[in-house]
């Protein structure tokens, strides 16, 4: 997508795979800055501290992390050490393990001296495949938006939670890809953007939508139920960090509450994600998905711009207040209207039919 008119991706390779460039998302929406990473430890730090974030993007960043590790040492022991450390960085999004393991599995059948070139080739392919998948997700998702517009003949109101835009993927996004493509097709729409405390990824969504001229309104996380009750939401579209074979969906904390309100008000609740986000090895999301608990400081502090125009971090609660910070929750398949993947749209229970080649894993 474009930043100030320049086509930009969230991650890109440099110097024939010797390094990668990223957009440092910890500085957004206040400052747009790129950063170059040359070692797998730097990539691990970027994933852990959410300079890169969003399930599909950390999958690709993990793949490039393995490329950097193999550049540093192509021996088995070093590869396994980097593999375990990278995967442990963020436990909920399955894409990270998928991205890391795809590189490891491939290079292990090569001699150490051949591994780096092979890893670069595959990481480039995976990066490109993510872009293609997201574009396909957008095309399928846009049809759902068009269907609502065909009935309503007024702008379609879409609620989204967290950031499932180009910043959370290599390009286009998942949930937002559908919105961008619907806009391209001339469908009038408006997006309710959940703020998404504590990390406020909704501000990234608002930043993306503003850059692409998509009408949107930022709301606090607690407003969604009220808006749905008053018929101001035609559909909810969110991304995902892990989807089980039975269609349970782990996504940013607060997603489950939106799904409950949507069900109560008969608002369709869609989940958009590439197949790298589906974990075919588990079916029960509530018991099978590890939920990442993040630092209490993410709740204790907020960051914003002060009256002098400087970015400032301030405490909103004292250190003596107990704080708990689960970063994700699981929405059961029964609350999900349909899942939008690169292969098409299906009900959660039909996911396996869309990917029959995965049946052996389930």
- The residue from 182, 193, 214, 238 that contacts ligand MRU (CB under 6 A) is 238
Candidates 95, 241, 279, 329; catalytic one? 241
From residue 94, alpha-carbon distances to 99, 283, 344, 358 in Å are 9, 14, 20, 15
Number of residues engaging ligand MRU in binding (CB under 6 A): 17
Kindly tell me which of 4 and 324 has the beta carbon lying closer to ligand MRU. 324
Beta carbons of 177 and 272 less than 8 angstroms apart: yes
Distance between CA atoms of 155 and 192, rounded to whole angstroms?
A: 12
1: contact with ligand MRU by CB under 6 A: no
Q: Answer yes or no: 221 catalytic.
A: no
Distance between CA atoms of 182 and 213, rounded to whole angstroms?
A: 13
Give the range of 63-71, 162-170, 281-289, 329-337 binding ligand MRU by CB under 6 A.
162-170
Cβ neighbours, 10 Å, residue 149: 19
Which residues are registered as beta bridge partners of 270?
237, 338
Kindly tell me which of 239 and 348 has the beta carbon lying closer to ligand MRU. 239
Range 184-213, binding ligand MRU (CB under 6 A) = 201
Tell me: cis bond preceding 198? Omega within 30 of 0 counts. yes
Beta carbons of 76 and 55 less than 8 angstroms apart: no
239: contact with ligand MRU by CB under 6 A: yes
Burial grade of 184 (CB within 10 A; 0-12, 13-18, 19 or more): exposed
168: contact with ligand MRU by CB under 6 A: yes
Range 55-84, binding ligand MRU (CB under 6 A) = 55-56
330: contact with ligand MRU by CB under 6 A: no
Tell me: cis bond preceding 196? Omega within 30 of 0 counts. no
97: contact with ligand MRU by CB under 6 A: no
Beta carbons of 187 and 153 less than 8 angstroms apart: no
258: contact with ligand MRU by CB under 6 A: no
Residue spans of alpha helices (H) in 265-349: 285-288, 297-300
Give the range of 38-46, 163-171, 220-228, 341-349 binding ligand MRU by CB under 6 A.
163-171
Cβ 153 to ligand MRU shortest distance, Å = 30
Give the range of 38-46, 239-247, 305-313, 317-325 binding ligand MRU by CB under 6 A.
239-247
DSSP 130-198: HHHHHHHHHHHHHHHHHHHHHHH-SPEEEEE-S--SGGGSSSS-SHHHHHHHHHHTT--EEEEEE--TT
Cβ 272 to ligand MRU shortest distance, Å = 8
Phi-psi region of 2 (alpha: psi -120 to 50; beta: other; left: phi over 0): beta
Cβ 73 to ligand MRU shortest distance, Å = 28
Distance between CA atoms of 47 and 41, rounded to whole angstroms?
A: 10
> Mask: binding to ligand MRU, 102-141, rule CB under 6 A, as x and -?
----------------------------------------
> Mask: binding to ligand MRU, 30-59, rule CB under 6 A, as x and -?
-----------------------xxxx---
Kindly tell me which of 79 and 235 has the beta carbon lying closer to ligand MRU. 235
Cβ neighbours, 10 Å, residue 150: 10
Kindly tell me which of 54 and 62 has the beta carbon lying closer to ligand MRU. 54
341: contact with ligand MRU by CB under 6 A: no
DSSP code for 325: -
Give the range of 133-141, 158-166, 178-186, 350-358 binding ligand MRU by CB under 6 A.
158-166
Q: Which residues bind ligand MRU (CB under 6 A)?
A: 53-56, 162-164, 168, 174, 201, 238-241, 251-252, 327
Active-site residues, by number, are: 241
């Amino acid at each position: 997508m474009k930043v100030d008119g320049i086509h930009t991706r969230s991650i890109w390779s440099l110097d024939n795979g010797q390094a990668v460039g990223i957009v440092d998302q910890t500085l957004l929406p206040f400052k747009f800055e790129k950063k170059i990473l040359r070692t797998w430890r730097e990539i691990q730090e970027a994933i852990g501290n959410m300079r890169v974030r969003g399930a599909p993007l950390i999958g690709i960043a993990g793949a490039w992390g393995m490329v950097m590790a193999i550049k540093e040492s192509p021996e088995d022991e070093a590869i396994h050490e980097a593999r375990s450390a990278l995967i442990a960085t963020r436990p909920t999004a399955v894409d990270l393990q998928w991205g890391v393991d795809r590189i490891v599995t491939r290079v292990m059948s090569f001699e150490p001296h051949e591994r780096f070139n092979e890893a670069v080739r595959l990481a480039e392919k995976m990066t490109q495949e993510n872009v293609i998948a997201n574009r396909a997700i957008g095309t399928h998702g846009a049809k759902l938006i068009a269907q609502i517009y065909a009935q309503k003949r007024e702008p379609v109101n879409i609620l989204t939670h967290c950031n499932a835009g180009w910043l959370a993927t290599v390009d286009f996004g998942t949930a937002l890809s559908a919105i961008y493509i619907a806009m391209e097709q001339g469908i009038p729409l408006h997006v309710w953007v959940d703020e998404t405390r504590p990390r406020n990824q909704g501000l990234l969504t608002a930043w993306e939508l503003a850059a692409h001229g998509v009408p949107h309104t930022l709301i606090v996380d607690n407003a969604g139920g009220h808006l749905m009750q008053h018929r101001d939401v035609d559909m909810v579209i969110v991304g995902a960090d892990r989807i089980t074979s039975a269609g349970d969906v782990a996504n940013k904390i607060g997603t489950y509450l939106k799904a409950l309100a949507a069900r109560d008000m008969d608002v369709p609740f869609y989940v958009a994600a590439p197949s790298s986000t589906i974990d075919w090895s588990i079916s029960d999301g509530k018991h099978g998905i590890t939920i990442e608990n993040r630092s209490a400081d993410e709740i204790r502090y907020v960051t914003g711009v002060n009256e002098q125009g400087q970015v400032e971090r301030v405490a909103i609660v004292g250190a003596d207040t107990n704080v708990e910070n689960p970063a994700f929750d699981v929405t059961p398949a029964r609350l999900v209207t349909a899942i939008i993947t690169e292969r098409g749209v299906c009900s959660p229970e039909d996911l396996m039919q869309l990917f029959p080649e995965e049946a052996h894993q389930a």
